[in-house]
Structures are given as C-alpha cells and as structure tokens.
Amino acid sequence: MPADQPPIPSVWARPQRKREQPALTREHIVTEAVRLLDEEGADNLSMRRLGSRLGAGATSLYRHVASKDELLELALDEVYGELPLPDAGEWRATVREVAHALRAAILRHPWMAAKLGEAGLAYLGPNVLRQSEHMLGIFERAGFSLDEADQAVSTVTAFVLGISTSEAAWLSMVARSGQSAQEWIERLWPAAERAVQDYPRLRARYAAQKVEDTSKSGDSAFEYGLERLLDGLQARLP
C-alpha cells in the first residue's frame, strides 16, 4: 500500500463527482436487486454482490435499506407493480386476466414464489395493496358481498400462487443446473421411473409427460384449475 499522496491542488485532480445524482437510491438499489435475482437466482443475491454491481460497497446499501429482508419486500412489491389493473366488462374475463398476469410475473421472476412463501401477503407494500383493492372491486361489482369478495380474492390468489410456485421451483432448478429442461428430464428419468414403478397412476402420468412440452402442460393445468374455480364462484351468484 503506497503512502497517501499529498493532495494535488488542481481543479481537475479533485474528485469532483459532486453528487449530480446521489448515485445510490433506494429505487436504484431495488431495481438492480430485481435484475440480479432474475439473472442469477435468489441464492446468488448477497449484499456484497449487489453492492459491487452498483459500484458501491456492501454496507453502503444499508443507508437506504434497513436489512436484506426489507430489500426483498421492496423487490416483491416492485414486481407487483408490473401487474395490470384491468377493468373490462365481464368479471370472469377480468379475473382471468389478473390471474394470468400474476402467474406470468411469477414465471418471469421465479424467486418471487419462494419469497412470497416466507413473507406472506400481509406486508403492506403499496402495489400489493392496490392490486388487492382492485380485485375486491371486481368481485364486488360482479355481485359478491364485500365479505365474500374477500374470500374469493384469497381463493383465486392462493390457487395462482400455489400452482405457479411449483412451476417456478421447477424453473429455478433447471436454471441453476445450467442445462436445458429436456436434458434435465432425461437425467432425472431413470430415478423417476424407479420411484413411481409401484404406483400405476403416477407411472402412466410420468410416461405421458415425458413426451409433452413442459411449459404447455403447465399452461393447461393452470387454465383447467382456474376455470373450475371460476365455475365454483359463479355458482354463488344469482
């Protein structure tokens, strides 16, 4: 380490970065965190790594964010902000649109599912609140009481979260492995075949899924469940 030089009395040599923009903003940090999570997965988000991506030290982030957990809550709410607030005529179509959008967001950001599982939905992010209010409105206008609309929203959200979580876990696993989904299936196949051999129904299912396109079968399972749910809700209306 060289001895610290005497300061050079020149305007040009002076550091002079005069905080044109504060260089580190909560917003900036959160959007970069989302990027890092998307690109490298939840395991690879550390304050040090995030800091260095922003050209800053790890502990500098703590000026803008209380803890890593808080940062993750912010990231979650950020993604919720991507969701639309559609308001078409027919309630089923509207709910369908929101449900599809939520699932799409989770599949775009697979780390979301696990984090939602830890944080729950009670954490009061403004975008989450806005989305909830909006969905309550949709069901109320469809003819549900506020009480029942609340339960309906919980039900639909739970279904979307639950089914997308499984898909997201699968996506994360494949992404971590660095292989393609097809390769991963091939590799898993022998173990899976052995595991299900005592279960005739599972065996038939696995065999069928081997030849299917994985993402297509996810789509159809999602749509099937969503329609059943909407059917069940619709039956409550006069």
Residue 19 interaction partner, one of a second copy, DNA, none, beta carbon < 5-8 Å per kind: DNA
For residues 49-78, which are near a second copy according to CB under 8 A?
none
For residue 168, the minimal CB distance to a second copy (Å) is 8
Count of residues touching a second copy (by CB under 8 A): 65
d(CA 110, CA 191): 25
For residue 35, the minimal CB distance to a second copy (Å) is 21
d(CA 26, CA 61): 8
For residue 130, the minimal CB distance to DNA (Å) is 27
Q: Contact between 224 and a second copy (CB under 8 A)?
A: yes
d(CA 106, CA 115): 11
For residues 188-207, which are near a second copy according to CB under 8 A?
191-192, 195-196, 199-202, 204-205
For residues 61-80, which are near DNA according to CB under 7 A?
62-64, 67-69
Piece of the chain touching DNA by CB under 7 A; list 12-20, 95-103, 135-143, 212-220:
12-20
Piece of the chain touching a second copy by CB under 8 A; list 32-40, 57-65, 87-95, 153-161:
153-161
What's the 3-state SS for 62-99?
A: HHCCCCHHHHHHHHHHHHHCCCCCCCCCCHHHHHHHHH
Do residues 64 and 25 lie in contact, with contact meaning Cβ atoms separated by under 8 Å? yes
Q: How far apart are the first and last CA of the chain?
A: 80
Alpha helices by DSSP H, listed for 87-213, are 91-108, 111-119, 126-142, 146-177, 181-195, 200-211
Exposure class string for 32-42: b at 16+ Cβ within 10 A, else e: bbbebbeeeeb
Sites of contact with a second copy (CB under 8 A): 113-114, 116-122, 124, 126, 129-130, 132-133, 136-137, 140, 146-152, 154-155, 157-163, 165-166, 168-170, 172-173, 191-192, 195-196, 199-202, 204-205, 208, 220-221, 224-225, 227-233, 235-236
